[in-house]
Structure 1
Amino acid sequence: MNFQDCCEEIANEVKSAIIPYVGRPEAAEFIRQGADGTPTKKIDQIAEDIVIRYLKEKKICSMVISEEAGCEEIGGKSGTIYLDPVDGTHNAITGNPFYALSIAFAEDGVIKKAYVKDLAHGESFYAEKDKGAFCNGIKVKVSDTEFLDKSTISVYGKKFDPETIVKIGEKIRRWRLYGASALELCYVGCARLDGFIDLRNTLRVTDAAAGMLFCKEAGGTVTDKCGRPIQFSDDVSRGECLIATNGLIHKKTIEYLR
């Protein structure tokens, strides 16, 4: 079975398991402190257990790096899976329909395949390095928006340091904030957003790996806040800032963020 089909099986199992908890208080039950330094909620743990068990049984990779468990050797084939079992945990807990399963496969430090499943609406986002990006099997590309004042961008900033995002917020046409970075990166790839900005310095490799490849394969540009190639650590307690756009507005976006 290929990577995409395996991911679909995983997503179906995860969705069935977490649906009874979505929008319910028990979903937010504290289980433990996650490897990323944030609380692992019950809904996260349920989803992660399903994915890691599947990966072990199918021997899909030799290592899993997950937001909750951290780095775990699982004794399978070569390669690393970057996993966010529920991207947008708060949305799932509160019943807001914008949360996803995010899985990226890497070999020799390079992300080769990416899969993001919108668990609320059922959409599947898949990308393979140098082979394009697909939403529900249909090839997609980024928007052709050329000007910031015509753009729609999802913007995250530090709540105690709003000056930078206010500056660019005054320039762009529409400001969005959905709360699930993997999906938002895919939305840039699908031309539903012209850009995604995260200046919190808390975005982890597990949050971004799959969405980044999808965005790039759809023709987008992904960098750090200074416009340089972004480098994530495999240590999930360390975060970064990230700027993703359709490419056409990237230079101007960076200029305003400076």
Structure 2
Amino acid sequence: MLTLTTLAQQIRQIAFAEILPRWRQTPVEIKTDGSFITAADLAVQNRLMAVLRDHDPYIPILSEELPAAEQSSLLAAAINGKRFWCLDPVDGTSNYACGFPYFAVSLALFTAGRAQLAIVFDPVHDECFTAERGQGAWCNGQPITPFAPSPLLTNALAMIDLKRLPAARLAPLLTNNTFRSQRNLGSVALDWCWLAAGRYQLYLHGGQRLWDYAAGRLIATEAGVTSALYARDGTQSFNDLDLMPRIAIAAANTNLFEQWQSFVNLPLETA
């Protein structure tokens, strides 16, 4: 039986076999959208898809590295409530390709349009984050929870993805001392997990897709993080079953989230 624990163990084995031995050893290719892909991405995808199909060949698998037409077809079927796996073989490929030790395997199981199970495995630090809807979130089997040093934004550490934010919004975000300090590490799945584990307090990302946030956001939610996804026009998104990029805003608790959301002041685009 493929339980959350046994699946996490298999992901760990695949990551140690396919990702770490290739780190700083494999050439990089550039996809049509300008992002990186490596042999590790494809090796993890192929091996993990084989594991999932062996368990149940009737559950489709949506992976970041599949052709766009195939991704759209899988999501179209899922709109009717069909279960599917959502996989990012190496979330943070740019980090991986450039030697920065912050990347992970991300996998979520969707049922009736919502993520139900989640696994994010960080092979560099040997940390496996897991969650099951309504049951909580864990790191290496231990429960995790967010942390905030105080109820004030000025004492909070913010993870902000700068690349996808409009240039006109960067100066107001970064120069008025609203929060303690800013980080930007480059793996959406791990960003959510580190927020869940209490390693920072505020999160803002201007363009993540389903495979980026599917597993990590469930882990964060089950840990107790408050979050919301938005379209570029600032309207809140309640639909996970498309591939449109989402703005993500999150915080360690509801009080900080309300302050942070007010400060960010959607929409991000300016006239």
TM value normalised by structure 1: 0.86
The letter for the 2-side match of 1:9 is: Q
The letter for the 2-side match of 1:16 is: A
Shift of the 227–4 alpha-carbon distance from structure 1 to 2, 3 Å rule, reads: farther
2:36 and 2:94 in contact (8 A); partners too: no
* Residue deviations 1:102-140 (CA, integer Å, cap 9, x gap): 011111111111110012111010111111111111111
Match of 1:100 among 104, 107, 110: 104
Could you say what secondary structure the match of 2:130 adopts? strand
Match of 1:47 among 44, 60, 64: 44
Query: Alignment length, in residue pairs?
Result: 246
Shift of the 112–18 alpha-carbon distance from structure 1 to 2, 3 Å rule, reads: same
Residue in 2 that maps onto 1:134: 138
The letter for the 2-side match of 1:46 is: A
The letter for the 1-side match of 2:137 is: A
Residue in 2 that maps onto 1:148: 153
CA distance in 2, matches of 1:166, 1:158: 13
Match of 1:244 among 226, 231, 250: 250
Residue 54 of structure 1: how far off its partner (Å): 1.3
Residue 169 of structure 1: how far off its partner (Å): 2.5
Q: CA RMSD in A?
A: 2.3
Match of 1:213 among 192, 211, 218: 218
Residue 101 of structure 1: how far off its partner (Å): 0.4
1:230 and 1:242 in contact (8 A); partners too: no
1:253 matched to 2:260? yes
* Residue deviations 1:218-249 (CA, integer Å, cap 9, x gap): 111111355835433433xx211111211221
Residue in 2 that maps onto 1:193: 200
Structure 1: gaps spanning 5 or more residues? none
Match of 2:240 among 228, 232, 239: 232
The letter for the 1-side match of 2:156 is: S
Structure 2: gaps spanning 5 or more residues? 75-81, 266-271
2:159 and 2:183 in contact (8 A); partners too: yes
Residue in 2 that maps onto 1:123: 127
1:16 matched to 2:17? yes
Residue 163 of structure 1: how far off its partner (Å): 3.2
1:62 matched to 2:59? yes
Residue 87 of structure 1: how far off its partner (Å): 0.5
1:88 matched to 2:92? yes
The percent of aligned pairs where both chains have the same amino acid is: 25
TM value normalised by structure 2: 0.83
1:102 and 1:117 in contact (8 A); partners too: yes
The letter for the 2-side match of 1:163 is: A
The letter for the 2-side match of 1:156 is: D
- Worse-matched range after superposition: 11-20 or 127-136: 11-20
